[in-house]
Protein backbone atom coordinates (compact mmCIF):
# COMPACT_ATOMS: atom_id res chain seq x y z
CA UNK A 1 0.00 0.00 0.00
CA UNK A 2 1.43 3.37 -1.05
CA UNK A 3 2.07 6.13 1.46
CA UNK A 4 0.61 9.37 0.10
CA UNK A 5 1.79 12.86 1.03
CA UNK A 6 0.73 16.46 0.42
CA UNK A 7 3.75 18.66 1.10
CA UNK A 8 1.98 21.98 0.62
CA UNK A 9 -0.96 22.92 2.84
CA UNK A 10 -1.05 26.68 3.27
CA UNK A 11 -0.54 28.13 6.73
CA UNK A 12 -3.51 30.01 8.16
CA UNK A 13 -3.60 32.12 11.33
CA UNK A 14 -7.09 30.68 11.81
CA UNK A 15 -6.23 27.55 13.78
CA UNK A 16 -9.70 26.05 13.42
CA UNK A 17 -9.42 26.23 9.63
CA UNK A 18 -5.94 24.73 9.73
CA UNK A 19 -7.14 21.97 12.02
CA UNK A 20 -9.90 21.16 9.52
CA UNK A 21 -7.40 21.06 6.67
CA UNK A 22 -5.19 18.54 8.48
CA UNK A 23 -8.21 16.44 9.53
CA UNK A 24 -9.51 16.39 5.94
CA UNK A 25 -6.08 15.39 4.60
CA UNK A 26 -5.95 12.52 7.09
CA UNK A 27 -9.49 11.44 6.14
CA UNK A 28 -8.52 11.45 2.44
CA UNK A 29 -5.62 9.09 3.18
CA UNK A 30 -2.57 11.36 3.31
CA UNK A 31 -0.06 10.10 5.86
CA UNK A 32 2.09 13.27 5.81
CA UNK A 33 1.34 16.95 5.19
CA UNK A 34 3.56 20.02 5.32
CA UNK A 35 2.25 23.37 6.51
CA UNK A 36 3.65 25.95 4.11
CA UNK A 37 4.81 29.39 5.30
CA UNK A 38 5.30 31.68 2.27
CA UNK A 39 7.98 34.37 2.58
CA UNK A 40 8.10 37.02 -0.16
CA UNK A 41 10.86 39.52 0.65
CA UNK A 42 11.18 42.89 -1.05
CA UNK A 43 14.21 45.04 -1.74
CA UNK A 44 12.63 48.14 -0.19
CA UNK A 45 12.84 47.06 3.42
CA UNK A 46 14.26 44.25 5.49
CA UNK A 47 11.75 41.57 6.42
CA UNK A 48 12.03 38.80 8.95
CA UNK A 49 11.63 35.17 7.99
CA UNK A 50 8.47 33.82 9.67
CA UNK A 51 8.87 31.58 12.67
CA UNK A 52 6.91 28.32 12.50
CA UNK A 53 4.44 27.63 15.28
CA UNK A 54 5.12 24.31 17.07
CA UNK A 55 2.88 21.61 15.64
CA UNK A 56 1.42 20.61 19.02
CA UNK A 57 0.32 24.21 19.61
CA UNK A 58 -0.96 24.66 16.07
CA UNK A 59 -2.91 21.45 15.58
CA UNK A 60 -3.47 19.93 18.99
CA UNK A 61 -4.39 16.26 18.77
CA UNK A 62 -3.36 14.82 15.42
CA UNK A 63 -6.08 12.89 13.55
CA UNK A 64 -5.59 9.25 12.55
CA UNK A 65 -4.96 8.57 8.86
CA UNK A 66 -7.85 6.86 7.06
CA UNK A 67 -7.09 3.15 6.67
CA UNK A 68 -4.12 3.26 9.05
CA UNK A 69 -3.68 3.02 12.78
CA UNK A 70 -1.25 5.91 13.18
CA UNK A 71 -1.80 9.68 13.33
CA UNK A 72 -0.91 11.94 10.43
CA UNK A 73 2.59 13.40 10.34
CA UNK A 74 2.72 17.20 10.13
CA UNK A 75 5.84 19.09 9.01
CA UNK A 76 6.78 22.75 8.63
CA UNK A 77 7.87 24.15 5.28
CA UNK A 78 9.20 27.53 4.14
CA UNK A 79 8.74 28.78 0.58
CA UNK A 80 10.81 31.79 -0.45
CA UNK A 81 9.36 33.71 -3.42
CA UNK A 82 12.43 35.15 -5.13
CA UNK A 83 12.57 38.11 -7.47
CA UNK A 84 16.19 38.98 -6.61
CA UNK A 85 19.22 36.85 -5.73
CA UNK A 86 19.70 38.72 -2.45
CA UNK A 87 16.40 37.34 -1.17
CA UNK A 88 17.95 33.93 -0.51
CA UNK A 89 20.56 33.64 2.23
CA UNK A 90 22.40 30.31 2.10
CA UNK A 91 22.81 28.61 5.48
CA UNK A 92 20.66 31.23 7.23
CA UNK A 93 19.83 29.97 10.73
CA UNK A 94 16.18 31.02 10.23
CA UNK A 95 15.82 28.41 7.49
CA UNK A 96 16.85 25.58 9.80
CA UNK A 97 13.67 26.00 11.83
CA UNK A 98 11.75 24.38 8.99
CA UNK A 99 11.65 20.75 7.94
CA UNK A 100 11.45 21.58 4.22
CA UNK A 101 12.90 24.48 2.24
CA UNK A 102 11.37 25.52 -1.10
CA UNK A 103 11.95 28.33 -3.57
CA UNK A 104 9.71 29.92 -6.17
CA UNK A 105 11.91 31.76 -8.71
CA UNK A 106 10.30 34.49 -10.80
CA UNK A 107 13.01 34.91 -13.47
CA UNK A 108 14.97 32.55 -15.71
CA UNK A 109 18.26 33.50 -14.06
CA UNK A 110 16.90 32.66 -10.60
CA UNK A 111 15.37 29.43 -11.89
CA UNK A 112 18.78 28.41 -13.22
CA UNK A 113 20.42 29.27 -9.88
CA UNK A 114 17.77 27.31 -7.96
CA UNK A 115 18.38 24.27 -10.14
CA UNK A 116 22.17 24.37 -10.10
CA UNK A 117 23.35 26.18 -6.96
CA UNK A 118 20.97 26.72 -4.06
CA UNK A 119 20.75 24.14 -1.28
CA UNK A 120 16.97 23.63 -1.28
CA UNK A 121 14.54 20.74 -1.47
CA UNK A 122 11.74 21.97 -3.76
CA UNK A 123 11.44 24.35 -6.71
CA UNK A 124 7.88 25.68 -7.03
CA UNK A 125 6.46 26.30 -10.48
CA UNK A 126 4.11 29.27 -10.66
CA UNK A 127 0.62 28.23 -11.75
CA UNK A 128 -1.26 31.53 -11.40
CA UNK A 129 0.27 33.28 -14.42
CA UNK A 130 2.12 32.62 -17.64
CA UNK A 131 5.79 31.96 -16.97
CA UNK A 132 8.15 34.70 -18.27
CA UNK A 133 10.69 32.10 -19.40
CA UNK A 134 10.94 28.67 -20.99
CA UNK A 135 12.21 25.56 -19.26
CA UNK A 136 15.62 24.45 -20.48
CA UNK A 137 16.89 20.92 -20.26
CA UNK A 138 20.34 21.69 -18.78
CA UNK A 139 19.25 23.32 -15.47
CA UNK A 140 16.42 20.83 -15.05
CA UNK A 141 18.84 17.91 -15.46
CA UNK A 142 21.14 19.60 -12.95
CA UNK A 143 18.31 19.80 -10.40
CA UNK A 144 17.41 16.14 -11.00
CA UNK A 145 21.04 15.10 -10.46
CA UNK A 146 21.14 17.04 -7.17
CA UNK A 147 17.90 15.46 -5.93
CA UNK A 148 15.85 18.68 -6.04
CA UNK A 149 12.21 18.22 -7.07
CA UNK A 150 9.76 20.42 -8.97
CA UNK A 151 6.36 21.11 -7.46
CA UNK A 152 3.10 21.72 -9.30
CA UNK A 153 0.10 22.71 -7.16
CA UNK A 154 -3.48 22.28 -8.27
CA UNK A 155 -5.74 24.30 -5.96
CA UNK A 156 -5.45 27.44 -8.12
CA UNK A 157 -6.98 25.46 -11.00
CA UNK A 158 -10.02 24.79 -8.81
CA UNK A 159 -10.53 28.45 -7.90
CA UNK A 160 -10.40 30.11 -11.32
CA UNK A 161 -10.76 29.13 -14.99
CA UNK A 162 -7.92 31.39 -16.12
CA UNK A 163 -5.57 29.95 -13.52
CA UNK A 164 -6.65 26.48 -14.65
CA UNK A 165 -5.32 27.22 -18.13
CA UNK A 166 -2.05 28.54 -16.73
CA UNK A 167 -1.69 25.55 -14.41
CA UNK A 168 -2.14 23.02 -17.21
CA UNK A 169 0.06 24.94 -19.68
CA UNK A 170 2.93 25.45 -17.20
CA UNK A 171 2.70 21.87 -15.93
CA UNK A 172 2.73 20.38 -19.44
CA UNK A 173 5.73 22.55 -20.37
CA UNK A 174 7.61 21.30 -17.30
CA UNK A 175 6.80 17.64 -17.97
CA UNK A 176 8.08 17.92 -21.53
CA UNK A 177 11.43 19.14 -20.20
CA UNK A 178 11.90 16.89 -17.17
CA UNK A 179 10.19 13.80 -18.65
CA UNK A 180 8.12 13.43 -15.49
CA UNK A 181 11.12 12.86 -13.21
CA UNK A 182 11.52 14.53 -9.81
CA UNK A 183 8.01 16.00 -9.81
CA UNK A 184 5.60 16.23 -6.88
CA UNK A 185 1.93 17.22 -6.99
CA UNK A 186 0.59 19.20 -4.04
CA UNK A 187 -2.59 21.06 -3.21
CA UNK A 188 -1.45 24.45 -1.84
CA UNK A 189 -4.93 24.34 -0.33
CA UNK A 190 -6.23 27.20 1.79
CA UNK A 191 -9.65 25.62 2.41
CA UNK A 192 -10.86 22.07 2.88
CA UNK A 193 -12.88 22.20 -0.36
CA UNK A 194 -9.63 22.64 -2.29
CA UNK A 195 -8.20 19.31 -1.11
CA UNK A 196 -8.48 16.24 -3.33
CA UNK A 197 -7.81 12.60 -2.56
CA UNK A 198 -4.57 10.91 -3.68
CA UNK A 199 -6.15 9.08 -6.63
CA UNK A 200 -7.87 12.26 -7.82
CA UNK A 201 -4.47 13.97 -7.74
CA UNK A 202 -2.98 11.09 -9.73
CA UNK A 203 -5.66 11.64 -12.38
CA UNK A 204 -4.73 15.34 -12.46
CA UNK A 205 -1.15 14.25 -13.05
CA UNK A 206 -2.27 12.46 -16.20
CA UNK A 207 -3.84 15.72 -17.36
CA UNK A 208 -0.54 17.49 -16.69
CA UNK A 209 1.33 15.07 -18.96
CA UNK A 210 2.61 12.50 -16.45
CA UNK A 211 2.51 8.78 -17.10
CA UNK A 212 0.55 6.47 -14.77
CA UNK A 213 3.63 5.45 -12.79
CA UNK A 214 5.10 8.98 -12.62
CA UNK A 215 1.75 10.42 -11.49
CA UNK A 216 1.57 7.92 -8.64
CA UNK A 217 5.17 8.60 -7.65
CA UNK A 218 4.40 12.35 -7.60
CA UNK A 219 2.23 11.89 -4.49
CA UNK A 220 4.17 9.03 -2.88
CA UNK A 221 7.78 7.98 -3.49
CA UNK A 222 8.89 11.34 -4.93
CA UNK A 223 7.57 13.05 -1.78
CA UNK A 224 9.41 10.53 0.38
CA UNK A 225 12.60 11.35 -1.54
CA UNK A 226 12.05 15.04 -0.67
CA UNK A 227 11.97 14.20 3.04
CA UNK A 228 15.19 12.19 2.76
CA UNK A 229 16.85 15.02 0.82
CA UNK A 230 15.80 17.50 3.52
CA UNK A 231 17.29 15.33 6.26
CA UNK A 232 20.57 15.09 4.36
CA UNK A 233 20.61 18.84 3.72
CA UNK A 234 20.08 19.61 7.40
CA UNK A 235 22.97 17.34 8.41
CA UNK A 236 25.29 19.00 5.85
CA UNK A 237 26.48 15.83 4.13
CA UNK A 238 24.87 13.02 6.07
CA UNK A 239 28.17 11.13 6.14
CA UNK A 240 30.46 10.43 9.09
CA UNK A 241 34.11 9.94 8.27
CA UNK A 242 36.30 7.73 10.47
CA UNK A 243 40.09 7.68 10.51
CA UNK A 244 41.97 4.65 11.77
CA UNK A 245 44.73 5.58 14.19
CA UNK A 246 48.18 4.25 13.34
CA UNK A 247 49.75 2.15 16.13
CA UNK A 248 52.64 3.79 17.92
CA UNK A 249 56.08 2.29 17.13
CA UNK A 250 57.25 -0.18 19.76
CA UNK A 251 60.76 0.19 21.24
CA UNK A 252 63.31 -2.51 20.48
CA UNK A 253 64.59 -4.83 23.27
CA UNK A 254 67.67 -2.64 23.80
CA UNK A 255 65.42 0.35 24.61
CA UNK A 256 65.91 2.36 21.41
CA UNK A 257 63.06 3.30 19.11
CA UNK A 258 63.22 1.65 15.65
CA UNK A 259 63.64 5.00 13.89
CA UNK A 260 66.55 6.01 16.09
CA UNK A 261 68.15 2.61 15.74
CA UNK A 262 67.88 2.81 11.95
CA UNK A 263 69.41 6.29 11.89
CA UNK A 264 72.29 5.11 14.09
CA UNK A 265 72.94 2.17 11.80
CA UNK A 266 73.24 4.41 8.76
CA UNK A 267 75.65 6.92 10.35
CA UNK A 268 79.27 6.59 9.18
CA UNK A 269 82.02 5.80 11.71
CA UNK A 270 83.86 8.75 13.21
pLDDT tens digits along 190-200: 999 999 999 99
The pLDDT confidence band at residue 241, using thresholds 50, 70 and 90, is: very low
Find the CATH number of the domain harbouring 188.
3.20.20.140
Phi, psi of 104 (to 5 degrees): -120, 95
144 lies in some domain: yes
Residue 270 lies in a domain: no
pLDDT at 250: 58
* Domain assignment present for 217: yes
> How high is the pLDDT of residue 129?
84
Within a domain: residue 50?
yes
Q: Does residue 250 lie in a domain region?
A: no
Whether 267 is covered by a domain: the verdict is no
pLDDT, tens only, 89-146: 777 888 889 999 999 998 999 999 999 999 999 999 988 888 888 899 999 999 999 9
Answer yes or no: is pLDDT of 207 > 60: yes
Cα separation values, 168 from 132, 233, 251, Å: 16, 31, 77
User: Does position 256 have pLDDT exceeding 70, yes or no?
Assistant: no
What is residue 67's DSSP assignment? T
96: containing domain: 4-234
Considering the domain boundaries, does residue 247 fall inside one?
A: no
State pTM to two decimals: 0.83
Q: How many domains does the chain have?
A: 1
Q: Tell whether 92 is covered by a domain.
A: yes
Let me know the angle formed at the C-alpha of 128 by 177 and 102, rounded to the nearest 5 degrees: 65
- According to the model, what pLDDT value does residue 236 have? 57
113-131 burial, b if ≥16 CB within 10 A, otherwise e? bbbeebebbbbbbbbeeeb
Amino acid sequence: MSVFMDLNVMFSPNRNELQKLVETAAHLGFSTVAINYVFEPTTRKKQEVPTPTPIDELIGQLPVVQGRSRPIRVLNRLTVVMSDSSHFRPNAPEYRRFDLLAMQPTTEKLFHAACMLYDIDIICISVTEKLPFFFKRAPINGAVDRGVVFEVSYSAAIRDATMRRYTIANAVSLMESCKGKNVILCSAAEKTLELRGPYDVINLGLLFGLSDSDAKEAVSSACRAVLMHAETRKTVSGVVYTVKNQPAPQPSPDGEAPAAKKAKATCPDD
